[in-house]
Amino acid sequence: MTTWGTVKVDYIINSIRIMTTFSKANFKTLQYNSFRPHYPGSFYKILGQYTTKDDVSKLPLKKAIDLGCGTGVATYPLLNICEDVIGLDISPKMIETANSLIPQRTQEFGVDSHRISFKTCSTEDFLHDDQRQIHDNSVDLITAAQCIHWFQDFPKFFRNASELLKPQGTLAYFYYVDPFVVDFRGAHPRGESKIEILNKAKELYHDYVYNDETLIGPHWEQPGRTIIKNSLVDVNECIPQDLYEDITIKTFSPNFETGDVKPHEDDLCLEKTNILVDDYLNYLRTYSGYHAFRDATGDKDDVFKRFKDDLFAELGWDENTRIDLVWNTGYTFIRKK
């Protein structure tokens, strides 16, 4: 039997790198929850089909654990495919927000509020709260949304997750990184083609977020940001073939040159359409790299105001310009043998 006090589960939870940005008293978790993209129902349909080997009559699953749950953006939709859902995160403020949303979100899903709970990643707190125990080979689904790139020891994580999962249980991790403008309206371009403008917008984004050493780039927590930018290749290479099978890896990135800018049916589709440039910038302000940059420099010049001014000056956009965003995304599903 495995309890939340054992070394095994302790490692799974505490392997999430401590991201102090999201634990600070002045971090606005409700704002974070509002501006961050939400995983669509279509993705959970894909996940449900995988977990049941395309026999969705077997849904709902009995038990799911969502690691690094944050405010529950990826956790609540699991109620569509699982009876009992637990969300865990290292940030008390994130968990506070997730718990505050339980009445509203469970009402939206039309389910009993007792089917979902959120706890901090401190195993001691988890034990103190309700003495919950979880047996080996008892969990149907373990998910890690937008967090596995912070884990410290991927092989060990995979082994420990395997011990908790039922035979044929699913480990699923997925991510999004870097939204790109794939269309715009209400602009006044200066003789450039749409592809040229979109590529220029992408280049400006990379300059402000990564390339310029005086801006946000040096302030990302590493190696996590590089790992996720590289589509979790470093993580996927560590999947132990003796423990898992049916390995499914899917990635999507908009391609302006080919015009393939919209995710396909089997992709993790994350997009926001017809939004203002200010909405785009509000999302960028939730970046942990930006918060670290602001803490280190004070950001007296307002880096995103400068970015906005450059977008307007170089692309012919203005306050009324509407844009469509599509994120680079990916997911990995694996099944315990």
What are the tens digits of pLDDT across the range 84-96? 999 988 888 889 9
Confidence of residue 34 (pLDDT cuts 50, 70, 90): low
**Is residue 189 reached through a cis peptide bond, with omega within 30 degrees of 0 on the bond before it?**
no
User: How far is Cα 67 from Cα 303, in angstroms, rounded to an integer?
Assistant: 32
Give the range among 33-47, 60-74, 239-253, 254-268 with minimum mean pLDDT.
33-47
Would you say 259 and 195 are in contact if contact means Cβ atoms under 8 Å apart?
no
User: What are the residues whose beta carbons fall under 8 Å from the beta carbon of 62, sequence distance 6 or more?
Assistant: 82, 83, 84, 140
Task: Give the E-state strand segments of the chain in sequence order.
Answer: 2-3, 61-67, 82-89, 116-120, 133-134, 139-145, 165-185, 244-252, 271-276, 322-336
Confidence of residue 68 (pLDDT cuts 50, 70, 90): confident
Residue range 78-134, pLDDT digits in tens: 999 999 999 988 888 889 999 999 999 999 999 999 999 998 864 434 333 444 467
For residues 26 and 223, the model is more confident at 223
Give the range among 133-142, 162-171, 294-303 with minimum mean pLDDT.
133-142
Residue range 220-266, pLDDT digits in tens: 999 999 999 999 999 999 999 999 999 999 999 999 888 899 999 99
Confidence of residue 54 (pLDDT cuts 50, 70, 90): very high
Query: Which domains does the chain possess?
Result: 2-177+330-336 (3.40.50.150), 179-220+262-327 (3.40.50.150)
Structure-token pair, residue 195: 């592809």
User: What are the residues whose beta carbons fall under 8 Å from the beta carbon of 49, sequence distance 6 or more?
Assistant: 56
User: How far is Cα 84 from Cα 87, in angstroms, rounded to an integer?
Assistant: 10
Would you say 290 and 284 are in contact if contact means Cβ atoms under 8 Å apart?
yes
pLDDT of 3: 42
- Average of pLDDT values for 20-32? 47
Would you say 144 and 67 are in contact if contact means Cβ atoms under 8 Å apart?
yes
Count the Cβ atoms, other than its own, within 10 Å of residue 285. 15
Strands 82-89 and 271-276: unpaired
Compute CA distances 159 → 9, 28, 85, 179, whole Å: 11, 35, 22, 33
Question: 0.85 cut: is pTM over it?
Answer: yes
Longest CA span, the chain:
68
User: How far is Cα 193 from Cα 238, in angstroms, rounded to an integer?
Assistant: 43
User: How far is Cα 149 from Cα 171, in angstroms, rounded to an integer?
Assistant: 15
